[in-house]
Amino acid sequence: MNKIIVFVVGYLLMQNITFAQTPTYHNDQNWQLKWEDDFSTLNSDRWLVKNNFDHYGKEPQVYRTQNSYTNNGNLILEVKSEEYCCPPGSVNPSNCARQDAIGNCYQYTSGWVETKPAYKTQFGYIETRIKFPYREGEEWGFWPAFWTFSSGAENAAEIDICEIFNGTHDMTNTITTCVHTCYHNEELYPYPEIDPDCIKPSLGRVHTFPNFDYTDWHTYAVEWDANRITWYVDSIVFRTLENKDFDNNGNSIMGPVRIILNLAIQKDSKYHPPTSPPFSERMYVDYVKVYQLKCSNTIINEIPNFNEYCYTVKKSISLSSATTIPAGENITLRATDYIELANGFEVPPNTELYLGISPCSGSYFPCPVIREGENEE
């Protein structure tokens, strides 16, 4: 059976193509690893650990450095029922805002880490492997998240790669995703619930998966470029959005952004967890990896030898019967302008060919020049 699997945004010329699942970096040599963290330790050069911060008073817990730590190769974010008062120098609308507003100390603490400015990301493939907590409650729940955010002037640039809301019902097969772009500066809070120019509730989505339990280990990822945002669970695409018009001002998400992992208690419930008996729950993070595409602004007319092909995002690719795809392979070709498949082009049985049209926003990657009689090094 001939099988061509294509992911297309852009200009593609072809015949007799079957559209199916999108590839990920796992089988796509056009990606290169930019950085990764396996959390053998908590790298203070890469990660900022929030302390005496309550997300501008919108959540009942306060984040402390003691609640973010590593153990056995995992980052652990721990939420606890314990009384804690922010020291006087930290009590203000930007840090311990709830204590500043009402004067009360906190009954819960938790953990929040985010990448420092040197590790901001603009476009690419961002992946983590997480085991989320679940605790049955009466009209309350935990609110862990893996997301991006920018404090730059362009927009909030928030991509909720994965959020969990749990409470009275056992919904451990369900996650949510969303995008936010607008600020509401006078409230120092980037979710514009009362700003009519920024309300697009259709961007929020609830996703339920068969044979899935977020209290087990799973990978969560996003592929993001100037044209689109694509969400993955366990390397499977489950949502794609065009990267435009995310609010009534026409904003898109262009970054750069910081990557955030945190474990909150639901902010929207009027009920909070009981403090007696005391409880402690943990969110486990195995790794974070950030990939970027390899870019080369070259034109390809036929690929005579795939063993010598330099996998980078080309300007254009044209293939005909002069190109033979190796049988039984899984190959991804990417270009910024177009990919053309002329009459006579064939794909052998049991072979998968992915063709991607997208902007290349990674680093320039020069391919070696192959001269007759030489081999690629």
Digit-coded pLDDT (tens) for 292-319: 999 998 999 999 889 889 999 999 999 9
Averaged pLDDT for residues 328-347: 89
- pLDDT at residue 185 greater than cutoff 90: no
Q: Report pLDDT for 344.
A: 85
Domain CATH for 93: 2.60.120.200
In a domain, 377, yes or no: no
Using one digit for the tens of pLDDT, what is the confidence trace for 47-57? 999 999 998 88
Q: In which domain, by residue range, is 260 found? A: 38-293
Do 230 and 259 lie in one domain? The reply is yes
**Cα(67)–Cα(212) distance, rounded to whole angstroms?**
28
Do 66 and 196 lie in one domain? The reply is yes
Q: How far apart are the first and last CA of the chain?
A: 35
Do 225 and 253 lie in one domain? The reply is yes
Is 234 in contact with 127 (CB distance < 8 Å)? no
Q: Report pLDDT for 198.
A: 63
- pLDDT at residue 182 greater than cutoff 80: no
In a domain, 372, yes or no: no
Residues linked to residue 176 through DSSP beta bridges, in sequence order: 163, 206
Do 304 and 326 lie in one domain? The reply is yes
Pick the closest to residue 163 from 262, 86, 78, 251 (CA basis): 262
Last residue of a domain, which of 237, 259, 293?
293
Do 114 and 232 lie in one domain? The reply is yes
Do 74 and 207 lie in one domain? The reply is yes
Using one digit for the tens of pLDDT, what is the confidence trace for 129-143? 999 998 776 567 889
Pick the closest to residue 361 from 291, 298, 258 (CA basis): 291
Pick the closest to residue 61 from 280, 274, 266 (CA basis): 266
In a domain, 317, yes or no: yes
In a domain, 242, yes or no: yes
Q: Report pLDDT for 53.
A: 94
Last residue of a domain, which of 241, 259, 293?
293
In a domain, 3, yes or no: no
- pLDDT at residue 189 greater than cutoff 60: no
Q: Report pLDDT for 7.
A: 39
In a domain, 4, yes or no: no
303: DSSP letter: -
**Rounded percentage of the chain residues whose pLDDT exceeds 70:** 81
In the chain, how many domains are there?
2
In a domain, 373, yes or no: no
Q: What are phi and psi of 295, to 5 degrees?
A: -110, 135
The region of weakest confidence among 25-34, 132-141, 316-325, 330-339 is 132-141
Q: How many Cα neighbours within 13 Å face the side chain of 66?
A: 7
Coil, strand, or helix at residue 353? strand
Do 193 and 313 lie in one domain? The reply is no
Q: What is the dihedral of CA 358, 130, 238, 364, to 10 degrees?
A: 0
Last residue of a domain, which of 268, 293, 318?
293
Q: Report pLDDT for 220.
A: 97
Is the Cα dihedral 271, 276, 277, 278 positive or negative?
A: positive
Confidence (pTM): 0.87
pLDDT higher for 197 or 221?
A: 221
Q: What are phi and psi of 341, to 5 degrees?
A: -115, 110
Do 204 and 320 lie in one domain? The reply is no
Contacts of 19 (CB under 8 A, 6+ apart): 5, 6, 8
Do 269 and 331 lie in one domain? The reply is no
- pLDDT at residue 74 greater than cutoff 60: yes
Using one digit for the tens of pLDDT, what is the confidence trace for 75-129? 999 999 999 999 999 999 989 999 999 999 999 999 999 999 999 999 999 999 9
Do 260 and 345 lie in one domain? The reply is no
- pLDDT at residue 193 greater than cutoff 80: no
Q: What is the CA radius of gyration of the chain?
A: 23
Do 197 and 156 lie in one domain? The reply is yes
Using one digit for the tens of pLDDT, what is the confidence trace for 264-286? 988 666 667 777 788 899 999 99
Do 15 and 81 lie in one domain? The reply is no
- pLDDT at residue 1 greater than cutoff 70: no
**Cα(230)–Cα(232) distance, rounded to whole angstroms?**
7
What is the pLDDT of the chain when averaged over all its residues? Answer: 83
Coil, strand, or helix at residue 27? helix
In a domain, 211, yes or no: yes
Pick the closest to residue 316 from 357, 353, 366 (CA basis): 357
Which tokens go with 59?
């959540």
Q: Report pLDDT for 351.
A: 84
Q: Report pLDDT for 26.
A: 60
